[in-house]
Chains A and B, each alone.
Chain A
Amino acid sequence: MMNISASDPDPASAGASVTAQGAAPAAIRAESLKAVRGRRTVLRNLRFTVPRGQITGLLGPSGCGKSTLMRAIVGTQAQVTGTLDVLDHPAGTPELRSRIGYVTQDPSVYDDLTVRQNLEYFAAVLAPGRGPAATRRHENVTRAIADVDLTTHADALAGNLSGGQRNRVSLAVALLGAPELLVLDEPTVGLDPVLRRDLWDLFHAIAADRGTTILVSSHVMDEAERCHRLLLMRAGEILADGTPDALRTRTGAETVEAAFLRLVDEANAS
Chain B
Amino acid sequence: MNLHRTLATAARVLRQLRHDPRSIALMILVPCVMLLLLRYVFDGSPRTFDSIGASLLGIFPLITMFLVTSIATLRERTSGTLERLLAMPLGKGDLIAGYALAFGALAVVQSALATGLSLWFLGLDVTGSAWLLLLVALLDALLGTALGLFVSAFASSEFQAVQFMPAVIFPQLVLCGLFTPRDQMQPALEAISNVLPMSYAVDGMTEVLRRPDLTGDFVRDAVIVAGCALLVLALGAATLRRRTA
Do A and B pair up? The answer is: yes
In-complex Cβ contact of B4 among A98, A107, A122, A130 (8 A): A130
- Partner among A79, A100, A110 whose Cβ is within 8 Å of the Cβ of B79: A110
For chain A, the bracket of interface size reads: 35 or more
User: Given A124-B8, A128-B8, is A76 in contact with B87 using a C-beta cutoff of 8 Å?
Assistant: yes
Select which of B9, B79, B88, B245 is within 8 A of A126 by beta carbon: B88
State which residues 99-130 of A face B: CB under 8 Å: 100, 102, 104, 106-113, 117, 121-122, 124-126, 128-130
Q: Which one of B5, B8, B87 contacts A102 once the chains associate, using CB atoms below 8 Å? A: B87
Q: What is the bound-complex CA distance between A121 and B9, given in angstroms?
A: 7
A21 to nearest B CB, angstroms?
Answer: 29
Q: Are A104 and B84 in contact (CB under 8 A)?
A: yes
A92 at the interface (CB under 8 A from B): yes
Which chain A residues border B87 with CB–CB below 8 Å? 74-76, 97, 100, 102
Binds A, one of B24-32, B48-56, B134-142, B236-244: B236-244
Residues on B with beta carbons closer than 8 Å to the beta carbon of A76:
83, 86-87, 242-244
B86 close to A122 (CB less than 8 A): no
Q: Are B81 and A102 in contact (CB under 8 A)?
A: no
Does the CB pair A125–B243 fall under 8 Å?
Answer: no
Contact B83 A124 (CB under 8 A): no
* CB-contacts of A173-219 with B (<8 A): 173
Q: Is the CB of B81 within 8 A of A108?
A: yes
CB proximity of B243 to chain A, nearest CB, Å: 4
| Bound: A113/B20 CA distance, A | 10
Please name 18 pairs of A and B residues whose Cβ atoms are closer than 8 Å in the assembled complex, sorted by A: A75-B87, A76-B242, A78-B243, A92-B242, A97-B88, A98-B88, A110-B79, A111-B79, A112-B16, A113-B15, A121-B12, A122-B84, A124-B4, A125-B5, A125-B9, A126-B88, A126-B89, A128-B8
